[in-house]
Amino acid sequence: MSEQTVENAWDHAVDLLIVGSGAGAMTAALVGCDAGADVLLIEKGDQYGGSSAMSGGGLWIPCNSVAREAGFEDDPEEAWKYLKGCVGDATPDARLRAYLANAPKMLDYLVANTRTRFIPLMEYADYYPNVEGSTPGGRCLDPVNFDARALGDEFLKMRESAPQQQIMGRISMTIPEARISLARTPGWMLTLMRLFFRYAFDLPWRFKSKRDRNLAMGNSLVGMLRRSLMDRNIPIWLETPARGLIVEDGRVVGVEAERNDKRIRIRGKKAVILAAGGFEANQAMREKYLPQPSKAEWSSANPNNTGDIINMGIELGAGIGLMDEAWWGPAVKFPGDDRARFFVIELSLPGSVLVNRSGRRYVNEASPYGDKVAAMYAKNTPEGETIPSYLVFDANFRKKYPVGPLLPGAQQPDWAAPKDVMNLIVKANSIRELAEKLGVDADGLEDTIAKMNEYAKTGVDPEFGRGDTIFDRYYGDTHVTPNPNLGPIDKPPFYGMRTYPGELGTKGGLLVDERSRVLDESGEPIPGLYATGNCTASVMGHTYPGPGATLGPATTFGFVAARDALGIDSDTGS
Ligand SMILES: Cc1cc2nc3c(=O)[nH]c(=O)nc-3n(C[C@H](O)[C@H](O)[C@H](O)COP(=O)(O)OP(=O)(O)OC[C@H]3O[C@@H](n4cnc5c(N)ncnc54)[C@H](O)[C@@H]3O)c2cc1C
């Protein structure tokens, strides 16, 4: 076939064709464009941004310059010890080294060349403080607020934030603002009022949409990235799902996609970069690969992530890994929400407890989210079923703290809470009655609560060490002593809620190397094909080392992929 005929066989051709529109995809697109490439992103959904837009937007980047400028000096050797100590041999060292070498460069590129801006979270600790090389903060970056007006009509085409990231599912807040409100540090009321007034008096926009134009967290990150794409006229074709990979002479040269009800062929002259998320919303894949039981409705992630790209890769002969893994966390799907809410704070705040069907604890409730679900699966035996588990708290807890979509009872008493949400929460005047209503062993639950009340007095949890680490305490209540994660559960009425093994996304997928090249089953790179994010087997292996440890790699390996595809040397960190 002549070159001319081949060109004619394509409906569209670009240098870099990127599948997906999350933070990894957008980072790759920006890098590619700035290196002179013609770039196109294709997105399956009618909105761009995927789980990245729904997320907290944090990026975990050891040795980053933003924290350095704020006075925190990280040490590359310590970062290596920590990452290796967490991940172990689940990921080749070359990829771990590549992550540590490229993540700070990716960040510097973004900050120097695009609209993205971040602040370092100096008190947000690595998740495993006992692993050598951990830091008490400074490795997680939070996107600053971004004004959605800069996006014009593109704003409403961005996937909405997950409701759990917003006050009343509507009002944006940054991670520090969320913490100020939770910990009720001086000025917390003022912070909340400022956010509320800014939202309410954004006129006349308020009459047009419920969405907050003061973007924070994942919406801010994706908003800043989208605006940066707009600055460069980089298009995102919405409602254009990839349906197949096109191979010529052993090289991936393009993608077959669907657009306006037609099959089209799009060529990626230099490369195709896959950034199409995991398989969270694909029940059949969940049953095939994840530990059981596992339900798509327990996921907090983007509903369009159905593992299409992973399956296309498998068909092509790509290797896969970590398919039984996810960014786990206990979760509940509440009425009115289309995705499950991932419990970040409810289990760390003092005065709550998580029990199995025997009414017994089985894990440190304030430990990193992944550890809780790992324990849920490991300890789910007929004698002590942990799926579902039961989150139990009392009237004081209900009054002081938010639970799922409920504001603290002081602001939203039970009578003012949505009925369908309250129907999900079992309420009783005694622990025994609560246990009976939940179907939990009453003696077991009474014994557990008596122990928790004792631990609240001493401040020591001799069973599971709740509150022992700086990470546990990050989401504790600093007003509560002697342990900010332990409080009595003694004031009726008592509340209980079924809780499930949820996730923020799956993290198994195509095997890639330190240059983000997709590997075949024998470990050889498939020419022309790169991947990043949750459609790959995560660099983080079986662990979740710190806040932002999913978006950090998605953006970093998007950066690496675009550079490598365009012949710019990757830093392998070795
Ligand atoms: C509530 C919540 C909070 C979170 N907070 C954080 C946090 O603070 N820090 C952190 O690191 N991680 C966080 N995460 C996890 C993080 O958001 C994800 O791990 C990350 O966004 C995954 O990025 P991705 O590019 O792989 O997927 P996505 O961002 O989901 O992007 C994939 C895109 O590909 C599209 N797509 C799927 N199939 C196709 C197809 N066939 N053709 C074309 N497009 C397709 C999807 O529609 C989607 O838009 C959070 C997640 C949630 C849900």
Q: Where are the alpha helices (H) located in 346-441, listed in sequence order?
A: 369-378, 395-400, 419-424, 431-438
For 17, 240, 264, 303, the CA distances from 261, given in Å and listed in that order, are 20, 9, 9, 21
Quick: pLDDT tens for 482-495.
999 999 999 999 99
What residues does 427 pair with on adjacent strands? 495
Q: How far is the CA of 95 from the centre of ligand 1 (A)?
A: 21
Please give the number of the atom of ligand 1 that sits closest to the Cα of 307: 38
- Write out pLDDT tens, residues 527-545: 999 999 999 999 999 999 9
**Å from CA of 442 to ligand 1 middle:** 41
Q: How does pLDDT run across 27-67, given as a tens digit for each residue? A: 999 999 999 999 999 999 999 999 999 999 999 999 999 99
* pLDDT over 80 at 185, yes or no: no
412-440 per-position pLDDT tens digit: 999 999 999 999 999 999 999 999 999 99
Residues with CB under 6 A from ligand 1: 19-22, 24-25, 42-45, 50-52, 54-58, 162, 164-165, 241-242, 275-277, 300-302, 304-305, 308-309, 327, 342, 504-505, 533-534, 548-551, 554
Distance of CA 301 from the midpoint of ligand 1 (Å) = 7
Q: Measure 44 CA to ligand 1 centroid, in angstroms.
A: 13
Does the structure show a pLDDT above 90 at 398? yes
CA of residue 402 to ligand 1 center, whole Å: 26
Counting ligand 1 atoms within 8 A of each CB, the residue from 48, 55, 328, 510 with the most, and so the one to mutate, is: 55
Helix-helix angle 175-183:188-200, to 10 degrees: 130
> Could you tell me the distance, in angstroms and rounded to a whole number, from the CA of residue 557 to the centre of ligand 1?
14
Instruction: At 531, give phi and psi (nearest 5°).
Output: -155, 155
From the CA of 274, how far away is ligand 1's center (Å)?
12
* Residue range 440-459: mean pLDDT, rounded: 98
Q: Of 497, 500, 533, 503, which is closest to residue 518 (Cα–Cα)?
A: 533
Q: Which of 26, 42, 51, 127 to mutate to test the pocket of ligand 1 (most atoms within 8 A of CB)?
A: 51
SS (H, E, C) 166-214: EECCCEECCHHHHHHHHHCCCCHHHHHHHHHHHHHCCCCHHHHCCCCCE
Per-residue confidence at 3, pLDDT binned at 50, 70, 90? very low
Cα dist. 349→1, 137, 373, 476, 485 in Å? 66, 20, 18, 5, 5
What are residue 142's DSSP bridge partners?
119
Token readout for 162 is 């997950």
Check residue 187 and give its pLDDT.
Answer: 83
**Ligand 1 atom at shortest distance from the alpha carbon of 534:** 26
CB 227 within 8 A of CB 30: no
Ligand 1, atom 47: nearest CA belongs to which residue?
Answer: 304
Greater confidence (2 vs 339) lies with 339
Q: In whole angstroms, what is the distance from residue 120 CA to residue 113 CA? A: 19
Task: Give the residue, out of 27, 237, 550, 557, with the most ligand 1 atoms within 8 A of its beta carbon, to mutate for a pocket test.
Answer: 550
Length of the chain: 574
Which atom number of ligand 1 is nearest to the Cα of residue 59? 11
Average pLDDT of the residues of the chain: 95
Number of Cβ within 10 Å of residue 84's Cβ equals 18
Each residue's pLDDT tens digit, 198-245: 999 999 999 999 999 999 999 999 999 999 999 999 999 999 999 999
CA of 377 to the centre of ligand 1 (A): 24
CA distance 174 to 124: 13
Task: Please tell me the residue having the least CA distance from ligand 1 atom 25.
Answer: 22
Cβ atoms of 567 and 348 closer than 8 Å: no
- Rounded Cα gap, residues 561 and 27, in angstroms: 10
Query: 263, 328, 504, 510: which to mutate for ligand 1, most atoms within 8 A of CB?
Result: 504
Q: What is the spatial distance between Cα 268 and Cα 175, in angstroms, rounded to a whole number?
A: 38
Centre of ligand 1 from the C-alpha of residue 203, in Å: 31
Q: Which amino acid is present at 146?
A: F
Beta-carbon contacts of 125 under 8 Å, excluding residues fewer than 6 positions away, are: 134, 135, 136, 137, 469, 470, 471, 474, 546
Tell me the percentage of the chain whose pLDDT exceeds 90: 91
C-alpha span between 508 and 316 (Å, rounded): 17
Ligand 1 atom closest to 164 (CA): 1
